[in-house]
Amino acid sequence: MTHPAAVIAQLAIPATLDSRDPAAADFIAAGRLLNEHMLELWGNTDFHDTPQTQLAGFRTTPVRRRLLFAARSGDEILGLATLSLPLTDNTHSALVNVVVAPQARRMGLGSRLYAAAEQAAAADGRRTILGETDHPAPEGTAAGAAVRPKSGTGAIPSDAAAAFAQARGFGLEQVERISLLELADAAVGQETLDAAVAAAGAGYGLEFWRGPCPEDLVDAYAQLRKKMSTDAPLAGLDLEEEQWDAARVRETERKALEMDAEVLVSVVRHLSSGQLVGHTVLMVFNANPAVAFQDDTLVLREHRGNRLGMLLKAANLVRLHQELPEAARVWTWNAAENGYMLSINDRLGFLPVGWSGEWQKLLPAV
C-alpha cells in the first residue's frame, strides 16, 4: 500500500521560531512528531524536547550538519527522516533516523524517507550509514524472537523497527543496554562517595564544574573526550577517533547553552603527575528538570583498576542532587559487552529498561 498524495522533500531549518519565518511552522510540526514518537515508544515525556532545544540541535556547527526530510500531504507532516553528517572526523559516515506517524504506517513512506536520506548521504560522499533503534523491555530482557549483533554481544527484540532496518540492508553491529536510575531509590549519596574516595586511594583527587570547563583544564579535557570516542566498546562499527581540541569543547558548550541544558562534569586528577585521567558528564534540560542523561564516562587505561569509574559516577550523582535537586531520574546507555561499567551502574541502582540497536550499512563504492 502506498500514499501517493505524500510528497518527500527536504525541510529548511529556520533561523528562528518566529511565525514570520515561513520555515518555522513546518519545523515546529516536525519536532512535535519526533516528540510524539518518543512518547509512543517509551510511554512518558522524558525525551520531550522544546522547539527551541530542537532548533539548536539541528543548527549546523563546525562539527556537524543535520538535514531534515519530511513526508507531507498538504499541510500535514506524516513522517520524517533526519540525517546527521560529521564534518571534522568520521566524514565517511552518516547517521539516519526515520519516524512515521501511526496513521501513515505501512504505506511505503518510511522506505521513501529512508531512500531520500541515503541518496543525500551518498551524494555527500558518505560510504557508511549508521542507525539506532530503541526497544523498551519492561524486564530489561530481549524476550521472544531476537536479533543478535554480528560483532558485539546481547540481543534486541525482532520487532518492527529491527525488521525495517534489516529490509533496508542494515546489519546489527552492537547492542546497548538502556538503564534507568530512580534517584529516590539509588544506592548513592555521601556515604557511597566517601567509600569510593577511600577505595581509589590518596593518589587521586576529584574536581567538578557546571557549565563551561575552566580555561586551565580545557586542553586536558579535550584529550579525555577524544579518548572516549575509541576507548568505549565499538564492536564492528566503522568509526574513527574523533578530533577534539579546546575549540570543539567550547563549541559543544555553546550548543548545550543554546539547547537550554545544564552540564555537570566531574574529573579525576592523578595527583603526582597532575594529569586528568578520567571524567563523567551529566546533562539536564531546564525545560524537563526531573530528567538527567548520563553522557561520557571514561577512565584512561593506565589508571583502571582503582575504582575510579565508581568514584566519578558517585561524585557526579552527589553533585547532581546538590546542584539540580529537581532531578529525579537518570538515563544511560552502555554497550552490552561493557561489563565493567554495567557493574558500576548496577551497584549504584540503575535498572535495565530496554535495549538499543546500533545498525550499519556500507554503501557500494562509486
Q: Tens digits of per-residue pLDDT, 224-259?
A: 999 998 888 899 999 999 999 999 999 999 999 999
3 state SS of 259:
coil
- CATH topology of 7-177 equal to that of 181-355? yes
**Cβ(326)–Cβ(289) below 8 Å:** yes
> Cα separations (Å) of 276 from 95, 204, 311?
31, 10, 14
With contact defined as beta carbons under 8 Å apart, do 266 and 315 qualify?
yes
Name the pLDDT band for 187 (thresholds 50, 70, 90): low
* pLDDT confidence bin for 319, thresholds 50/70/90: very high
pLDDT over 90 at 191, yes or no = no
Give the pLDDT band (50/70/90) at residue 139.
low
Strand ranges (E), 54-163? 64-73, 76-86, 93-100, 128-136, 146-147, 156-157
270 close to 203: Cβ distance less than 8 angstroms = yes
pTM for the predicted model, two decimal places = 0.95
Q: Does domain 181-355 have CATH number 3.40.630.30?
A: yes
Give the pLDDT of residue 190.
84
pLDDT of residue 1: 47
* pLDDT of the residue at 221: 98
**Residue 94: which of 133, 57, 130, 132 has the closest Cα?**
130
Least confident of 183-187, 239-243, 246-250, 275-279: 183-187
Question: What ranges make up the beta strands (E) of 229-350?
Answer: 261-270, 275-285, 291-299, 329-335
For the chain, which residues make up each domain, given as ranges? 7-177, 181-355
Residue 158: Cβ-neighbour burial (10 angstroms; 0-12, 13-18, 19+): middle
Q: What pLDDT does residue 57 have?
A: 97
Q: Give Cα 28 distance to the centre of its chain.
A: 21
Mean pLDDT over 199-213 rounds to 96
For residue 152, pLDDT beyond 70? yes
Cα 184 to Cα 33: distance, rounded to the nearest angstrom: 32
Q: Identify the weakest region by mean pLDDT among 178-187, 199-208, 355-364.
A: 178-187
Residue 138: predicted pLDDT: 67
Q: How far apart are CA 272 and CA 45, in angstroms?
A: 46
The CATH code that applies to domain 7-177 is 3.40.630.30
> Which among 133, 126, 184 is positioned nearest to 157, based on CA atoms?
133
Place of cell 578530533: 243
Question: Alpha-carbon distance 94 to 86, whole Å?
Answer: 7
Q: Which helix (H) or strand (E) holds 359?
A: strand 351-362
Taking the C-alpha atoms of 105, 108, 109 and 112 in order, what is their torsion angle to the nearest 10 degrees?
160
* Average pLDDT value for residue range 47-57: 98
Task: State the pLDDT confidence band at 186, using cuts at 50, 70 and 90.
Answer: confident
The pLDDT mean for the chain works out to 94
C-alpha distances (whole Å) from 209 to each of 50, 206, 235, 270, 323 are 25, 11, 32, 17, 11
Half-sphere exposure of 220 (CA within 13 A, CB side): 18
pLDDT tens digits, 92-125:
999 999 999 999 999 999 999 999 999 999 999 9
Q: What is the pLDDT of residue 4?
A: 55
C-alpha count within 13 angstroms, C-beta hemisphere, residue 237: 26
Q: What confidence tens digit (pLDDT) does each residue in 59-83 have? A: 999 999 999 999 999 989 999 999 9
